[in-house]
Each structure stands twice: as C-alpha cells, then as structure tokens.
Amino acid sequence: MKKIYRNIIVAICAVASLSSCTDYLDLKPDDKLLEDQVFSSAANTSAYLNGIYVKLGATQLYGENLTLTIPDLLAQQYNMNYGSTPNLYYTFTQYSYTSPQVSNKMAEIWANAYSVIFNANRFVAGLDRSPGVLTAKTDSTYRGEALAIRAMIHFDLLRLFGPMYNSADSTLKSIPYNTYGEITVNPFLPANEVMNHIMADLSKADSLLSPDKTMTSVKKYKFTYYSVKALQARVNLYRGNKAAALACAKALIDNSAKFPWADKYFLNERANPDRIFSSEMILGAYNPEMSNTSQGYLKLFSSGLSDNNILAPLDARLTALYSDASSDFRISGQFWDVGPSKSYRTFLKYSEVDDKTKSFRNTIPLLKLSEMYYIAAECEKDPIVARGYLNTVRNNRGIDTSSPVPATAAEILKEYRKEFLGEGQLWFYYKRTNTAILPNGSKGDDVTGAFTMGPAQYVVPIPTAETDNR
C-alpha cells in the first residue's frame, strides 16, 4: 500500500497560480499520518486538490496524450510522409493498437487516468473524515470540483476505450467506474451504466458549484459551475440527448460575456499572440513542460524537428480546409509558419511567446465557448437559429458571414477540423457520429488511401495490464 501511495499521492510543486509546495508532501512512513496532515488544515487540503489538477495537466493526460497527440493522430490530422522514413507516430495513424508503441501509450493513459480518479476519490473521503476544517462554501466547492474531475476522466476513458455509443453497442461492457478511495477491483460496466454514473457525478457537481458563478482567470484552470455545464453539454450530445445538450450549451451562450471572443487584433500581436483564445476558454489544463526543450511544443511541432519526427498537416489539406484563407485568422501567419528549414507550414498554436508572464503560456484548452455554439448548432431544431449559432463562431474567426452557411453536418465538421487542431476533439466527433470513412491525412485528396472505419478502429482495446490482472 505504501508503494501505491508513493505513486499516486501528488507530491509535486505546481505553478504558483495553481498550487504550492508544502512540507507534508514529503511522504512519511505512516500513510495514515500523511492523510491526517493533508486534511488537518485548509491550506494543505487546497494543495492536495491543486496537485490533482497538476496531474491532469501532465503530459500523460491532458498536457499531451489526450489533446496534442493521440486523438489528432487517430483523426488523421497530420501528414506521416514528410520524411524519407516513416514518421515517428505512424503506427497511431494506422490504428495499430497491438504495436508496442501504441499499446504502451494507451496503457500510460489508462494508468494515469485511474490514478487521478483514485486521488479524487481519496480527496472526497478525506473531506468526509475532516468536518469543520473547511468553511461550508469551500467544502462544497472542493467536492464539486473533485466529482467533476472524476466524471471528466471517466468520460474521456469511455470515449477512447468504450464502444460506439450511438448504437446498440452502448450496452456493451466498457470500463470500470471507480468511486472508491481504497484499492479495489471494479467491474467493467456496460457503457450506458458508465454514462449514468458520469451524469450523476456532474449533476451533483452542478448543485455543489452553482452558488458561485464568478469567473477569474485562475478559475479557468479549475472546475466551476460553467465548466460543469459545458461538460454536461458535451456528455449529453455524446449520449444522444440533444435537447439536454442544447440546454446546457445555451447556459454558456447566455453567459458568453464571461468568455469574450478573442480579439483578432490582439491575436495578431506579433510577440505575444494568444493563439489558444484564452478569453474564450471555459476550462484549461496547464502543462509547464510545454516550453521545455524535450517536451511539449518543441518535441512535437517545432520546425527545427526532422521531417519524420514533426507533427504537421499536409499543406494541400490546409489549403482546401481554410477556403476562407483571406479572412479566417486561424490560418494566418500567427498560427502557421513556413520557416527556412521547411517547405510546408508548421503549427504555432502552442509555441512560446516573448512575455513569460502571459497567463496563457503552457495552456491547453479543454472546453471552449466555440464548442458550445457548435453543439447548439447541431442540436437546435430551427435551421435558421442553428445557422446563427454556427455563423457566430465563423464571424468571430474573421470570416465574412454576410452569406451565412447552413448548420449542416459537413459545415460543423469543417469547423471542428479547423478549431480544435491540437486539442483532440475531432477524433471524438468522428467516433460519436460513427463517421464511416476518414480521409488519409497523408494524402492530398479525400479518397486516396482513405480509411474505412468501424469498431476495430474506433474502439481502443483495454490495456492488457488491466485485463490480465483480474
């Protein structure tokens, strides 16, 4: 048990805006003593919760694996043929789930995800054992955050490892739902039962967080009432409840003043462009390794990488995708670069800025206002109103909407491909909609080498380390 605690108790120093190092994080031989120390003061309790957020933002989860790389590789977002030898990430784009490279990475996601879930459960259990340490409001807030974290991670595990939910396969066995703060073996549940647990946790988190509807830049890195509503919109759409998804999305749209649209003139500021649209971010993950020379942006997207190591879309696909290139600032020079060492455009979304005090540095968006408009456009029954939702985003990306496009599946998909590059949401859109054919990201057209998709491609196998030990 002590070895397990050493692996999963979050003993790290976080960025100043999220948490701080405290002496109690030096583990003691007695695990019970450690827990008594954690929940003996409001400061230590807060640091424990902040440490869980730091783990969320680590490269093993939302700091890379679940955002920058794996989902976008599976969605064919990058060209694997720029180099003379196969790209470092080629096996992911071929859905080679049994290859060591892919299976090891999926096992890494699984293990780290359930580690954070365990910590969230342990945190709630610690609150139960320590009444009076926190104020009633703080206790409510912390519980809501922990439940929302638990729901979000289970949901993304379900989206990755679970069956095709929009069919009869939703009753197939999927993943365990862990609600315990003790080491237990939890059964694999049917996907719809997992979804019920997710919805129950989010409903409880909603009620716990709803009294506080203030927003600050720091809160964008923690679960709030608004980020819970946004996640509820995403979850309800995934389970096919469009009416509920629309209602949740509109809760954000009706409060969009709290998440103002990115100013394109600010985005075009040369030294410190806010390429992640942080003002629109509802929830984000912070990964300080993003600017590390061996991690984050510099190991994934930098033009200094060799052709067979870099992640970069095929230029022909970018040209076809951004048909409004003259106005859509998502294809501008602040987002893409053709450096002296490359003949194709490289991705600048997460590149470093000059001002190291900018709050949006090292940040990966997890929920954004634009997605709420896309969800509303997809779920709204009135085609005129739906068109308005879609074109609101397009207009705020610099596109002339005097001749607005209808909110068709094709137009919404096009927006997902442009808006969420490097954020991982396109893959889950494809899986949710059971898209039958995915264009090969390494080919210049949508037909050559296209992938025929089905459960074998969309459903990632459960790691053998999990199945073999049961």
What's the rounded mean pLDDT across residues 234-246? 97
Q: Is position 116 within any domain?
A: yes
User: What is the DSSP secondary structure assignment for residue 215, as one 8-state letter?
Assistant: -
Q: Is the pLDDT of residue 4 over 50?
A: no
Determine, yes or no, domain membership for 331.
no
DSSP H helical segments within 268-382, as ranges?
A: 296-300, 315-321, 369-379
Least confident among 7-11, 94-98, 155-159: 7-11
pLDDT of the residue at 308 = 95
Is residue 396 in some structural domain? no
What is the per-residue pLDDT for 323?
Answer: 82
pLDDT > 60? residue 8 = no
Number of H helices, E strands in the chain: 19, 6
The confidence score (pLDDT) of residue 469 equals 73
Q: Which two tokens stand for residue 298?
A: 């510099």
pLDDT, tens digit, 9 for 90 and up, residues 327-337: 898 998 889 99
List of residues 6+ apart from 275 with CB closer than 8 A: 267, 334, 335, 348, 349, 350, 351
DSSP-H helix ranges across 22-69: 31-38, 42-56
Q: Which residue has the tokens 């989902």?
A: 71
Whether 416 is in a domain gets the answer no
pLDDT in tens, 385-402: 999 999 999 999 999 999
The reply to whether 152 falls in a domain is yes
Q: Which residues pair with 337 in a beta bridge?
A: 346
> What is the structure's pLDDT at 43?
94
Asked if the model's pLDDT at residue 13 lies above 50, the reply is no
Residue 324: the pLDDT is: 77
H runs (alpha helix) in 57-177 = 70-74, 90-93, 100-129, 136-161
pTM of the model: 0.93
Crossing angle, helix 383-395 and helix 369-379, to 10 degrees? 160
Residue 339 placed within a domain: no
Alpha-carbon distance of 369 to 229, in angstroms, equals 11
Q: How far is CA 358 from the centre of its chain?
A: 21
Q: How far apart are CA 451 and CA 368, in angstroms?
A: 29
Q: Is the pLDDT of residue 32 over 80?
A: no
Number of domains, the chain = 1
Phi then psi for residue 363, to 5 deg, are: -115, 135
* Percentage of the chain exceeding pLDDT 90: 79
313 closest CA partner among 87, 159, 59: 87
For 195-220, what is each residue's pLDDT tens digit? 999 999 999 999 999 999 999 988 99
Residues in the chain: 470
The pLDDT of 428-457, averaged and rounded, is 95
Lowest mean pLDDT among 29-43, 92-106, 137-151, 176-190: 29-43
Residue range 345-351: mean pLDDT, rounded? 95
Does residue 152 have a pLDDT over 50?
yes
Distance CA 220, CA 282 (A): 6
Residue pair 371/234 in contact (Cβ under 8 Å)? The answer is yes
Spatial CB neighbours of 135, under 8 Å, sequence gap ≥ 6: none
Average pLDDT, the chain: 90
The average pLDDT across 78-88 equals 94
Rounded CA gap, 354 and 13, in Å? 24
Average pLDDT on 243-266 reads 95
Rounded to 10 degrees, what is the CA torsion of 129, 232, 195, 5? Answer: -40
Dist CA 60 CA 69 (whole Å): 11
Model confidence at 404, pLDDT cuts 50, 70, 90, reads very high
- Domain with 189, as residue range(s), is 2-253+444-467
pLDDT tens-digit series, residues 100-113: 999 999 999 999 99
- Examine residue 363 and state whether it is found in any structural domain, yes or no: no
The CATH number assigned to the domain holding 112 equals 1.25.40.390
Q: Is the dihedral of CA 175, 176, 181, 182 positive or negative?
A: negative
Position 119, amino acid = N
Q: How many of the other CB atoms lie within 10 Å of CB of 434?
A: 15
Give mean pLDDT, residues 327-352.
Answer: 90
- One-letter amino acid for residue 426 of the chain: L
pLDDT reading at 370 higher than 90? yes
- The more confident residue out of 269 and 193 is 193
- Is 321 contained in some domain? no
